[in-house]
Amino acid sequence: MAAVGYDGALIVSAAQSVYEKRPSHPLVRHIGEAVRKALAEAGLESHEVDGLALSSFQLAPDNVTTIAEQLGLQLTWAFQGAFGGASGVVGVLRAARAIAHGEANVVVCAAADAFTVAAHVALMDQFNSGMRDYLAPYGFGGTNGLFALVQQRHMFEFGTTRPQLGRLAITQRQNAILNPNALLRTPLVLEDYLNARLIAEPIRLFDCVLPCAGGDAVVLVSKEMAHRRGMPGVSILAGGERHNFHPDEIVHLRTGLSDFASDMFATAGIQRDAVDFVELYDDYPIMETIQIEDLGFCAKGQGGAFIEATDISRSGSLPINTGGGQLSAGQAGASGGMIGIYEAVGQLLGRCGERQLRSPEVGVVTGFGMVGYVRGLSSAAMVLARR
Amino acid sequence: MTSTVVAPVPRVNDANRPFYEAAAAGRFILQRCARCARWIYYPRVFCPYCLSPDLEWKPASGRGQIHSYAIVHHPAHDYFNDKVPILLAAVRLVEGPIMVASVKAQIDELTIDAPVHVVFDLKVDELTIPRFALGDG
């Protein structure tokens, strides 16, 4: 069953710190910069904040409470995500429910990390006990090796092709070119994608994200406050989260989304063909493809064919990852789970500049992550609307 | 410049010690739940199917088929920089669980559904870590 009860809150702003290929600032600067910008966009002062949801892989020894101390936020509600790339969506859903229940009135949901490629690689071997003890000793290649297993099996079972997957990487790059905060903004053509450096076959370079430094934040307020202050906002129509579903599917060809997507759209009162755009968690094109299937835009196994037959560009029938996604903007660790929310809120509020879609009304955002023993354990999604 | 990069080593604990001790003696064992009789990989303290703490180590076939595979050119750890490409496979063991490990094979020999068997040639920091080779063994 899809969780309900988001009616009392609106998302009123979204912002990012300046993304960097090599971190030149400490993590807290990325968190604080994203939070400050998001509050400023909403016309709010920091003393009005009473809720904070935070996710970051590199936060230790700090945590949501000590970051509240550093930023001077006095909280009646706090949340720290432990769901990898699903933490962003989960945090927003829980923040909205907290506001609906009167536990907080102004919640900032933020994510940030300051990775170098080397630091990201080092994280993989120590990510959790399943990975450290039973995968790292083989030289498994980090998540690239694991998602290569997924892609290989999806190609074998369903006939998915690399040119199909390449359409995601190429189209997202076109979107990133119009996104001033994206790190990869040179055009990418199919030949580049197909012949890129081998990473973990069948995965090549442009199937992988660029680990980087950055932060993303959105602000949620009570509907009552938004009306009183005249703030335009985005509604959460429905959403859900799943953790550790399908435990025997070690090389997973579906995510937890498959378990609740139908209920989510039913709760939202939205048919799939009324969705104006989708912001998919794009750690790899194969996982975007699997999520398209799980969301019900096509049957299981038909994701590759769907991408091939559908115009997924910004002017197409189903634009995907309209700001370039993690594949082209960069993956600032846990911010990878917020970047789709940032983009969707910006699109629905009409604040996306050159890459703005024409009057979108409904968008879907997904999150996916916390890879344990081979599998990504956490999935989350929500339907957002300009209402 | 010389560097000594230490290999990533599993943490040996009560849950997995029998697995490595058996491997050192050339035997492949898996946990089986005494309550629900399901086979389990990777080693656990509690059965992930029924939460029973009564897990028994049982001799296992060490045979399976390749469910999927990858050819890792870019290792996540510097220790493997001179050991690439690493052939990584998800092996569906005869007993049921999927185990991901490296495989001794030539790249062009890897195919989905190919039979594999466990071998004990991978030693890291005095631990023997089971992996696979192509064929029925």
Residue environment code for A246-258, b if the CB has 16+ CB neighbours within 10 A, otherwise e: beeebbbbbbbbb
Q: Is the pLDDT of residue B1 over 60?
A: no
What is the reported pLDDT for B76?
A: 82
Q: What tokens were used for A175?
A: 């979107």
Model pLDDT, residue B3: 52
**Chain A residues touching B80 at Cβ < 8 A:** 139
Q: What is the pLDDT of residues B75-134, one digit of tens each?
A: 988 999 999 999 999 999 999 999 999 999 999 999 999 999 999 999 998 999 999 999
What is the per-residue pLDDT across A350-367, written as a single tens digit (0 to 9) for each?
999 999 999 999 999 999
Pairwise CA distance, residues A295 & A275, whole Å? 11
Return the pLDDT at A1. 43
Average pLDDT, chain A: 96
Task: Name the phi and psi angles at B11, rounded to 5.
Answer: -80, 120
Does the structure show a pLDDT above 50 at A165? yes
With an 8 Å Cβ cutoff, are B100 and A139 in contact? no
CA-closest candidate to residue A307, choices A294, A295, A293: A293
Is residue A128's pLDDT more than 90? no
Distance from CA of residue A292 to its chain's centroid?
Answer: 14
Q: B68 vs A251: CB contact, 8 Å cut-off?
A: yes
Q: Does B77 touch chain A (CB under 8 A)?
A: yes
pLDDT, position B2:
44
Torsion of CA A313, A315, A321, A326, to 10 degrees: 60
* CB-CB neighbours of A357 under 10 Å: 17
From chain A, pick out residues whose CB is under 8 angstroms from the CB of B71: 148, 198, 200-201
Is residue A387 predicted with pLDDT exceeding 90? no
Q: Residue A319 corresponds to which tokens in the numbers above? A: 């634009």
Query: Rounded distance, CA A46 to CA A35, Å?
Result: 9
Q: Which of A133, A135, A246, A371 to mutate to test the interface with B (most CBs of B within 10 A)?
A: A133
Distance set, CA B72 to CA A77, A119, A342 (Å) = 44, 19, 33
The pTM (predicted TM-score) of the whole model is 0.97
Shortest distance, CA B96 to any CA of chain A (angstroms):
9
Residues of B in contact with A372 (CB under 8 A): none
CB A60 within 8 A of CB A188: no
The percentage of residues in chain A with a pLDDT greater than 90, rounded to a whole number, is: 94
**pLDDT in the model for residue A124:** 72
Residues of chain B with Cβ-Cβ distance to A290 below 8 Å are none
Q: What pLDDT band is residue A122 in, cutting at 50, 70 and 90?
A: confident
Q: How far is CA A25 from the centre of its chain?
A: 23
Mean pLDDT computed over every residue of chain B: 95
Residue A271 reports pLDDT greater than 90: yes
pLDDT at A116: 83
**Contact call for residues A268 and A238 (beta carbons, < 8 A):** yes
Cross-strand pairs, A58: none
pLDDT digits (tens, 9 = 90+) for A59-113: 999 999 999 999 999 999 999 999 999 999 999 999 999 999 999 999 999 999 9
Residue of A nearest to B11 (CA): A133
In this predicted structure, what is the pLDDT of residue A323? Answer: 98
Judge whether B10 is closer than 8 Å to chain A, CB to CB: yes
Nearest CA of chain A to the CA of B126: how many Å?
13
Long-range contacts of A57-63 (CB under 8 A, 24+ apart): A57/A84, A57/A113, A57/A115, A57/A123, A57/A333, A57/A334, A58/A27, A58/A113, A58/A114, A58/A115, A58/A119, A58/A333, A59/A27, A62/A28
**3-class state of residue A182 by DSSP:** coil
